[in-house]
Amino acid sequence: MTRDVAVLGAGMHPWGKWGRSFVEYGTKAAREALADAGLEWSEVQSVVGADTVRGGYPGYVAGAAFAKALGWQGARVTSVYAACASGAQAIGTARSQILAGMADVALVVGADAAPKGFFAPAGGERPDDPDWLRFRVLGATNPAYFGLYARRRMALYGDTTEDFAQVKVKNSAAGAANPYARYRKRVTAEEVAASAVVADPLRLLDICATSDGAAALVLTSMEFARRHGAADPVRIRAVSTATPHYPRTVLDLPDIATDSAAAVPEPATGFRASIARNAYEEAGIGPGDLSLAEVYDLSTALELEWYEDLGLCGTGEAAGLLREGATALGGRLPVNPSGGLSSFGEAVPAQAIAQVCELTRQLRGQAGKRQVPCARVGMTVNQGLFGHGSAVVAVR
C-alpha cells in the first residue's frame, strides 16, 4: 500500500511587511493553490490551518479562520500549532487524514503577520515556560542563541565569519530570482561584513528578518489525482515530526540549561539529525538520493549545521561543502534554491509549507531561473520550539 499523497496545488502570498491580516494572506495563498490544482473550493473536504499566536483568537483557530474567509462549505477543519514546525505538522495532519480515508482533498494553509523586531513570547507571567524564562531571566532574544551556535562552530570546526557571509551571498542570489521573496537583491560578502553586529559574531545580514507571508498546498489521495488527470504528480513520501532523545547535552532554543549525561549516555543521533534520519527511513532514501534541500536558515551559521544534520557531509565539513559551491544553484546539491529565510524572513506558520511549495515547483520544472536541473527528490527540514521536528520528503 502506498503512503504517498499527491501535491496537486501550491500557492503563496509574497513575503514582506504588508500591515494586513494573516487571514487575507492565507486566503490569497489558498486560492492560488486551488487554481494551481484546477479545483474549486467546494471540492475541498478538509482544511488544516497552521496557527499563529500573533493573530488574536482567529490565529489560534486558523483552520476555521481560513475556512470562514473562503466561505463555509462543511469541510472538516483542524488547527495546528508547533511554533516554526507548524506548517510541517499541518502537512502531516492532512496527509494522515488522506491516508486514513477521511478525506480525498485537503487544503493546508499557513500565514502570519509578524511584529517588527525579534519574536517574543506571548504575554503574561509564566515562570514554568522556558520561552518566557529565557527572555525574563537571561534577556536572550533568538539572535543570542544564533550567536552561540555560530561561536560553537567556530570553536569546534574552525568556521569563519567569511564562511557565514558566503551563505548569505549564495541565498541572496537564489532569492533574487524568486518573485515571492521579500529581499530580491544580490548581497556581497563585503555588504554582510559592513552590516551592524547583532549577536557577535553574527551581523544583521547573517540573520533572517520577521515577515508577513503565507503559503498553501492542495493535497489529495493518489486515486483522486489520477481521476483528476494528474498521472505523475509531485508526491509527499515522508513527514518527520520527531522529538529529541534524553539527554540533550547541546544548548538549544529556548532552553537555558542542558541535561547531564553522567548517568545516561548521549543518544547516538542528535535532535536535528534525527529529524532528517526519520524522514529518510520513512521515504526509503538517503542523502545521496536528494536533488535539492530547503533548510531552516534562521542564521547563516545554522544553515551550515543543517548540511551536517542532513548527512550531506561529515561533522565539521559544512563550510568546505559551501566553499566548493556544492550547495549553490548550479552545484551538485543546491540548498535553499528558494532563497531561504535569508530572502524571505520568518512568517512562522507558513515557512515549512513554503518550503514544500518550492519543492513542488522544482520537481515540476517550474522554478524558472532558480531551477535545479532534473530534480526528482527534495527534502525540507526545520525545527520548532520545545522539540518539534519538521521534515518533508517530496518526489516526482
Mean pLDDT (10-residue bins), the chain, 396 residues: 89 97 98 98 98 93 98 98 96 98 98 89 87 90 95 98 98 98 98 97 97 98 97 97 93 90 93 96 98 97 98 98 98 98 97 98 98 98 93 98
Residue 388 carries which DSSP code?
Answer: E
**pLDDT given for residue 1 in this prediction:** 53
**pLDDT given for residue 119 in this prediction:** 86
Distance of CA 41 to the CA centre of its chain: 26
**pLDDT given for residue 115 in this prediction:** 86
**3-class DSSP assignment, residue 229:** coil
Provide the sign of the torsion angle of the four alpha carbons 198, 200, 202, 205, taken in this order: positive
Is the distance from CB of 244 to CB of 383 less than 8 angstroms? no
CA distance linking residue 95 with residue 318, whole number of Å: 33
Cβ-based neighbours of 50, under 8 Å, separated by 6 or more: 62, 80, 81, 86, 87, 89, 90, 108, 109, 110, 111, 349, 350, 352, 353
CA distance linking residue 274 with residue 359, whole number of Å: 21
Provide the sign of the torsion angle of the four alpha carbons 39, 211, 380, 86, taken in this order: negative
User: Could you tell me the end-to-end alpha-carbon distance of the chain, in angstroms, rounded to an integer?
Assistant: 18
Domains of the chain: 5-117+212-236 (3.40.47.10), 130-206+237-395 (3.40.47.10)
Q: Which residue has the cell 564562511?
A: 163
Cβ-based neighbours of 1, under 8 Å, separated by 6 or more: none
**pLDDT given for residue 342 in this prediction:** 97
Stated pTM of the model: 0.97
